[in-house]
Amino acid sequence: MRQKMADMVHRIQDEICEQLRSLDGVDYRQDEWTREEGGGGRSRVFSGGKVFEKAGVNVSVVHGTLSPQAAQSMGGGHELKGKDLDFFATGISLVLHPHNPMAPTVHANYRYFERGEGEKPGSWWFGGGADLTPSYLFEEDAVHFHTVLKNACDRHEVADYGAYKTWCDDYFHIKHRGERRGLGGIFFDDLNSASKDECFAFVEDCAQSFLSGYLPILERRKDLTYTEQQKDWQQIRRGRYVEFNLVYDRGTKFGLTTNGRIESILMSLPLTSRWEYCHEVASGSEEERLLQVLREPKDWLSE
């Protein structure tokens, strides 16, 4: 399974980057890196192209020995000790930040973990998900994104779209702001309730569904006209993105506590963002309309 998952994330990275390169009109910068404790990765970042202000697609295959702090941030709810602090982790993580404030930022991550030899009950699990973070609300985009994810879940008995949608809304909650980072999607962790192959098939399906979930939205929005005020609002929303990733995100914490590659860990942050003192939006505005669904998540597929 280690090799099967590593092969899959590299293939998906190639497929996604080929599509992004065609859209953006520029090539990515690639860095292949190694980690002193074991393993390494391949980071690809787009910047300065036609569509994306900054976009990154990373894969990693790492192993080593966890500190107790890192083991806690790794999750899984597993109280494994001694040699079981040895770990293996592989996955793909991507964040795409378009220039146009009408086009949403998107994030996806799919991963596989083992502790010890990965043979004991609870010593292996899959995790991941995808979520959409717009600056302006287009309900048809949210419906499309969630429909693609629900269809992927419905194809696998091990998956539960309703539970994963709620989990996503709860996980990407900026508690000090009382709002979600975006319009959600799915989020799951500790997935080991079926065989490794069944869980892998679901994760692979989700990863392969990414382009069909996001590219139609991007095509609709990337060339829309916008004002400087709308661009400023995008910068405010990107500030919220930064706040979540640096304060709450478990993946960021895990990377920093396992001596991960800093440039790859912080690749998810936007190129630019903005914080205004006591920023307020106008009543009845499109900005307020977005905030309403960030404060009270909506079931996009209920109608």
**Residues classed as catalytic:** 107
CA 221 to chain centroid, in Å, comes to 20
User: How many angstroms separate the Cα of 298 from the Cα of each of 13, 162, 286?
Assistant: 31, 12, 17
Instruction: Give the angle 72-76-81 at the CA atoms, nearest 5°.
Output: 60
Q: How many helices (H) and strands (E) does the chain have?
A: 10, 9
Please say whether the beta carbons of 53 and 270 come within 8 A. yes
CA distance 299 to 142: 10
Tokens encoding 117: 């030899």
DSSP string computed for 59-103: EEEEEEE--HHHHHHH-TT----GGGGEEEEEEEEEEEEESSTTS
Ramachandran sector of residue 44 (left: φ over 0; alpha: ψ -120 to 50; beta: rest): beta
Rg, the chain, Cα only? 19
